[in-house]
Amino acid sequence: MSFQVDGEVASCGGRLLKLNHESKETKTQMSVNIYLPQQYYTKQTSKIPVIYYLSGLTCSPQNASEKAFWQPQADKYGFAVVFPDTSPRGDEVPDDPENGWDFGLSAGFYVDATQDPYKKNYRMFSYVHDELPRALHQHFQKQGSSSQLDFLDNIAITGHSMGGFGAISAFLQLRSANKYKSCSAFAPMVSPSGVQWGEKAFGGYLGNDITTWKKYDPAALIQTVKNTNNDYILIHQGTSDPFYKKQLKPELLQQAAKGTTWEGKIDVQLVDGFDHSYYFISTFVPKHAEFHAKNLGLI
Ligand SMILES: N[C@@H](CCC(=O)N[C@@H](CSC=O)C(=O)NCC(=O)O)C(=O)O
């Protein structure tokens, strides 16, 4: 459960820690970055909430740490940001037999695989939402500073593309436990069961029985999970995103929400001319930071 420090970088008013640890879930070493805001170093007494940011296909924890510009927002409101990896890695970890970038390494889809040969290592749902937060809690507790960081209770989740899918899927699956206080997403894939990226990933990790896919599919989950808390989900989507119409389709979540307790609660903001890149993400991170800061009780 203990973390090794691969690096520590001064960034804005705080520090970005680059950590790795042995995961029982994935049976591999997992990298994770965490940004500790300036409030952490001024030893404030109230607990610092945590936002989990799930990255998209091809990403490691570095992409968002370097290009999303969460750090100034974290300093502004006083939250920490955790950037998990997108899949298990290593020579022993099975990859895409087609050598694509949309499955296998860097493309774990935040699900617990049930199919060979993936089920041994690809346990990203259990890793991200259970093992990692507990491991971080224990690590910082040992450092004598757990009172300052709240990895388990006052937490929120967001993500981009595959990670936006992972964030909404987990938010809904874990809603009855009120695990995440709020959820937002940048250009998320909201109905993976019906698009090529999702069909390939779910087929490979979960098998051909599509009834097993529904457990993870936001457009299916939204029809069964009750919105008892008057929550809403914030989504930004660029209109010039090459993946918007074929893979992402955020409007499908709004349509699926019709007639449910989520109707009118899926706030899809289409932003003209923006693409799928970190230029898009970094532009709208301040809006997502403010949204989560409100839900985490920081403003
Ligand atoms: N390599 C691909 C492009 C892949 C891509 O756009 N990845 C996105 C996430 S896509 C959905 O999950 C990403 O975040 N890339 C990392 C980055 O730093 O931009 C291609 O060649 O088209």
Helices (H), the chain: 38-41, 61-67, 71-77, 124-126, 132-142, 162-173, 196-206, 218-221, 251-257, 278-295
User: Which residues are known catalytic residues?
Assistant: 161, 241, 276
Ligand 1 contact via 58 beta carbon (within 6 Å): yes
The residue whose C-alpha atom lies closest to atom 20 belonging to ligand 1 is: 101
CB of 143 within 8 A of CB of 118? no
Ligand 1 contact via 161 beta carbon (within 6 Å): yes
Annotated domain spans of the chain: 4-295
Q: In angstroms, what is the span from residue 199 Cα to ligand 1's centroid?
A: 18
pTM above 0.90, yes or no: yes
CATH architecture, domain 4-295: 3-Layer(aba) Sandwich (3.40)
| pLDDT of res. 43 | 72
For residues 107 and 161, give the distance between their C-alpha atoms in angstroms, rounded to a whole number: 11
| pLDDT of res. 146 | 47
- Tokens matching residue 116: 């060979």
ipTM of the complex as predicted: 0.96
Helices (H), 23-148: 38-41, 61-67, 71-77, 124-126, 132-142
Q: In angstroms, what is the span from residue 269 Cα to ligand 1's centroid?
A: 21
Task: Name residues of the chain where pLDDT drops below 70.
Answer: 1, 145-147
For residues 47 and 155, give the distance between their C-alpha atoms in angstroms, rounded to a whole number: 11
Could you report the per-residue pLDDT of 40-85, keeping only the tens digit for each?
A: 998 777 899 999 999 999 999 999 999 999 999 999 999 999 999 9
Give the distance, in angstroms, between the CA of residue 30 and the centroid of all CA atoms in the same chain.
Answer: 15
- Tokens matching residue 209: 């029985």
Q: In angstroms, what is the span from residue 155 Cα to ligand 1's centroid?
A: 26
Q: Please enumerate in sequence order all residues whose Cβ is within 8 A of that of 275, keeping only pairs 6 or more positions apart, or say none.
A: 238, 240, 241, 242
Placement of tokens 């740490």 in the chain: 65
